[in-house]
């Protein structure tokens, strides 16, 4: 545990249940991992497994969509990534965050997530 902590991995475990029943070797960017084993367990059972797998995630490059305020650099990073897939949404996010002192609405969070990560399930 000390070694994984020193390498930047979270102390608290994360869980993931595969509703397809297939355990991939790699996960796409922005794959969903839950801190709640019961929640992930529901998906594991859909895939025919008794319980979800446990993971330790490296948390150094994570982003908190629910932060009350973003830095200008965070905003620029998000707008840049969204712009690769949706120029109109990127312009809207840039304008909204500047006008509201870097805050977005729940509608924006959902649209950003959809563009960056694709469907969660």
Give, to the nearest 10 degrees, the angle between helix 72-83 and helix 87-99.
160
The answer as to whether 91 is a domain residue is yes
Q: What is the mean pLDDT of residues 17-42?
A: 87
- Beta-carbon count within 10 A of 93 CB: 21
Global pTM reads 0.52
Are residues 77 and 105 located together in one domain of the fold? Answer: yes
Which percentage of the chain shows pLDDT scores above 70?
A: 66
Distance of CA 56 to the CA centre of its chain: 15
End-to-end CA distance of the chain: 31
When pLDDT is averaged across residues 18-36 and rounded to a whole number, the result is: 84
* Domain interval for residue 78: 72-117
Residues 46 and 7 in one domain: yes
Taking all residues of the chain, what is their mean pLDDT, rounded to a whole number? Answer: 75
> 34 pairs with which residues across the strands?
15
For residue 38, tell me if it sits in a domain. yes
pLDDT tens-digit readout, 15-24: 999 989 999 8
């Amino acid at each position: 545990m000390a070694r994984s902590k020193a390498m930047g991995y979270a102390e608290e475990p994360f869980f993931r249940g595969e509703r397809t029943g297939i355990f991939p070797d790699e996960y796409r960017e922005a794959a969903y991992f839950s801190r709640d084993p019961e929640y992930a367990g529901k998906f594991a059972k859909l895939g025919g497994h008794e319980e979800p797998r446990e993971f330790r995630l490296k948390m150094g490059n994570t982003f908190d969509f629910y932060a009350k305020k973003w830095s200008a650099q965070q905003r620029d990073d998000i707008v840049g990534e969204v712009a690769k897939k949706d120029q109109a949404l990127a312009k809207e996010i840039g304008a909204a965050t500047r006008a509201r002192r870097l805050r977005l609405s729940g509608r924006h969070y959902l649209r950003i997530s959809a563009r960056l990560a694709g469907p969660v399930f």
